[in-house]
Amino acid sequence: MENRNIIPVFYACDNDYIKYGIVSIQSLIDNSSDENQYNIYILCAGLEDKYVDILKSMEKDNVSISIDDISRKAEEFVENLPVRDYYSCMTYYRLLIPDSYPQYDKAVYIDSDTIVQDDIAKLYNIDIGNSFLGAAYDGLVNSVELYGEYAEQVLDIDRTRYFNAGVIVINLQQFREHKVIESFMELARTYTFVVAQDQDYLNVICKDKVYYMDYAWNFGIMTSQEMNPEDIHIIHYHLAAKPWHYDDCRLGDYFWKYARKTPVYDEIMEVYENFSDEEKELDEEHSKHLYNLAVQEIERQDNYRKLMENMQITNTGRHAIVEKIAALEKEGRFDEDVEDDPPGKQLLPDDIDYEKNPWKKRLRTRFAFKIARWFVNYLLKEKSLVIKDIVGIENFRNLETGAIITCNHFNAYDSFAMDLTFDQSLMRAKGKKMYRIIKEANYTSFPGFYGFLMRNCNTLPLSSNKDTMRKLLKAVDNILSSGDFILVYPEQSMWWNYRKPKPLKKGAFKFAAKSNVPVLPVFITMEDTDVKEDGEFFVQAYTIHVGKPIYPDKDKPVVENADEMLEKNYLWWKEVYEDFYKIPLTYTCGEVNCFGVVVDGAKQPVAR
């Protein structure tokens, strides 16, 4: 028959599991229609010739079976991905389908421990729209209270919306367009889900992008749900419930019905007859282990959901903050914070070693940067952080020494914007580091995710203790002398989404003058996007302006150099502000110089 509809179907099997996959394929073929062309692909890492011959012998006029050895492609992909108990790396092979088969925009993936009782073309033809995938909810998560709690308290997914990935319709076009696999890999490198592994990752990444199919298309037998067996489209013998292991396996007769039709029947019967009590005990141990893993993840204080909650910055009280900013500007109190810092404690000299980096601290720093980078990518993807442009990056790239980087401070996310700018400067690729000067209380007492970053992402906390400050100053000089960079917010305070440059404090410029390195001024301007935070305030699109470095005069004393560099920095910020927003820089408190002194008129001398 010409012009048949093409139905691409994918399995992932190794030599240990292919015999059960053959039974599933037999059931699929027996329930196929002559109206369709079924292109079946076996993703594998090298099958024995006998299995290849059996599979090829099952082909029909409208059924092709391709054995695709993807071991080389998969080797790098699955490296360092978590595997436990009866899972193998084969479970990740389905993720290679979108990029490996560009000829298809849609495909069915099906686990090998299944029996197909209906035409799988009906599953393929379900219109899932622009959803990333079509799937059925996971019956086990719905029927076992603990696993429901795990979905909600660890993955932040309603238990009725958690899907089983053993039978899915994949929107390959959407996977490619939205870089779903790249998101999977980023998350996998950052956080390890140990209960359902790749299924958990897919649930988190595809959340709100799932078309929920009838449960009859993926009926997991280890659930409390009841259904007339004749109404089930696909039976899924998931987890340890295998009819080739247990004679009382639910709906096991349907498996054996098709197994008897295959050349592997005797081989499967041998597995069934030789499945030992020790192996049954091991299955029981695996089940207990799975349960305990779910318990441990729920109880973890840094599980995925709790990390995400700690990462969120909400707009609670934003109107009051905006009003307070207006009041402080009117009074010329530019160095006061509008949001309360956590109550901190004094950082003593023995509490921190700015320069030594023991291996445990290096591991924490590496992990902190990894999870911070994943979070930045998450913000960019969700358009919570929008970088429109970076202007003047050549001023950064052309630096041949370390430098103090100054930037206006208006949002917790501006630190992430500066980290992206450092990447674009190529300095990190050259082995250089960027440190950050932060407040004492933010280092000693800031809670949650941001507190973890503040203590582990190359931060240099200030201190109210003089001896600790002496250690900091020595570390700053050594860092700058070694050619690395230090980010300082010289306005001292953070005013949320405040667009004007504020008067500057001298500390950053003294650092630069004392170490005889330049100041690299950066000013970030903002524009409203069409995205709102919590449906109220517009997310801002940042343009990051990098100015020409400001060098100290080696013939002048530190104090004079610091004052002159500060003034040049402020005037450049002012120039960028006025050029970008097309308005003069004015303050409601009157004329203010770069040091924050309110003056009577524009001709007043700059205060020193």
Beta-carbon contacts of residue 345 (< 8 Å; ≥ 6 apart): 441, 444, 445
Judge whether 259 and 265 are in contact, CB under 8 Å.
Answer: yes
Give residue-wise pLDDT tens across range 1-38: 467 899 999 999 999 999 999 999 999 999 999 999 99
For the chain, domains (ranges, CATH) are: 5-305 (3.90.550.10), 335-599 (3.40.1130)
Cβ count within 10 A of residue 536: 9
Task: Tell me the average confidence (pLDDT) per consecutive run of 10 residues in the chain, 608 residues long.
Answer: 85 93 98 97 92 97 94 64 48 86 97 97 97 95 92 93 96 93 78 83 92 96 89 94 94 97 97 94 89 90 77 64 90 86 80 74 77 84 91 96 96 91 94 92 78 83 92 94 95 92 95 96 95 80 97 94 96 96 92 74 36
Amino acid at 159: R
* pTM of the full structure: 0.63
Cβ count within 10 A of residue 411: 20
Give residue-wise pLDDT tens across range 353-397: 887 666 667 777 877 788 888 888 888 888 889 999 999 999 999
* The token pair that represents 24 in the structure block: 């599933």
Beta-carbon contacts of residue 320 (< 8 Å; ≥ 6 apart): none
Q: What is the pLDDT of residue 79?
A: 57
Q: Which residue is associated with the tokens 């318990």?
A: 295
